[in-house]
Structure 1
Amino acid sequence: MNFWLPHLVPGARHRLSSSDEISQFLGLVSPFALQARQRWQRKGKVMKRRRKILAILMTALGMAVMAAPSAAATAPSGDTAWVLRTQYLKSNPQGGERACTKFRRISLDSGNYNWGLRIGGRQWVTRVIFLGAGWYQWRSCLIPQKNDYIHISSLGPEDPGRKAATTDRTAVVNPSGTYTWGSFLTPRS
């Protein structure tokens, strides 16, 4: 905002570019008060910037904690493999879009495996399966139904001569909240 004040000083034109300069020119504010006010405004901007940075960092930290598997998700033995996802799940869903983990490419040795599902702190071995040695594409999905979820896990062998396998069960979530869910494979001894 610019003001031309030619009538204040005869024969001179003064260009004032801010309300602070106008106030100082008119004698309404002393130069010391003006400097103090400008310092206070700069400090306020710095504090606002610091609060924004802190909010961003706290959000990123919270997302990292939610995305990482909880302590309960750690494998009971070093040989257990997991495919997991963390997200908000509604208690008593009334249908909706399915949610899936990302595909995991996994190399397995030939043998029998306990194949199971988990939601939160609960997990179930839903199938004992023999798998041939090779590479597999693995993922789990939750499909909201009326008042519960259908939890499905699939293993697709990359060898075209083998058939894909699935395991599933219904699961109830109570209360609504953020849960880590997915599937696990543990070699049987």
Structure 2
Amino acid sequence: MDNETVDADFGIAVRSRRAELGITLEQLAANSGVSVAALSRLERGLLGPSLRNALAIARALGCDLTNLIESPAAQVTRAGDNLRYFDAATGIERLALARPAPHLELLLYTVPAGQSSVRFAAHRPGTREVFHLLSGELELHHGPDPLVLKAGDSATVRADHEHWFTARGSETARFILLVLGRDRAE
């Protein structure tokens, strides 16, 4: 198992344990002595902890370090335990459904009719996004010509340049998004 996978698994375990306990990043930071920024990066698999920080985090979460580093046979996120992001200005909601590997993320978006996302900065070169529209109509801006998806349609697009989306028509657009990142070494 490579270091990035170990870091990602540790981050997932920390986030899961924190959600299980119902504590915020700020509370974990206060109890562990590890900054909120570092904890956020750690939970997303972008930062590997030092042994000292890993032990402090485990203590703050009330568990043994082995509970955070042993890879479970299955990872389950229960309904309501998803990380939720809500943009009050647009009404766009994003639920993080799963992050099974460092460069793999499964999301569920709900976009009210007529609303547009922010313009997302380019991801790492080679990153792809797979959209599957559950309902409504979605216009994807991933290059010179926008793509229009209707319920039941799927599209795989490059995400290594600026991109965004808009819900077209009069119905809320709901879609599943799979982000397939590239490892730095690839």
Q: TM-score range by the shorter chain?
A: under 0.3
TM-score with structure 2 setting the length:
0.25
Rg larger in structure: 1
Q: Which has the higher contact order (CA 8 A, sep 6+)?
A: 1
TM-score with structure 1 setting the length:
0.25
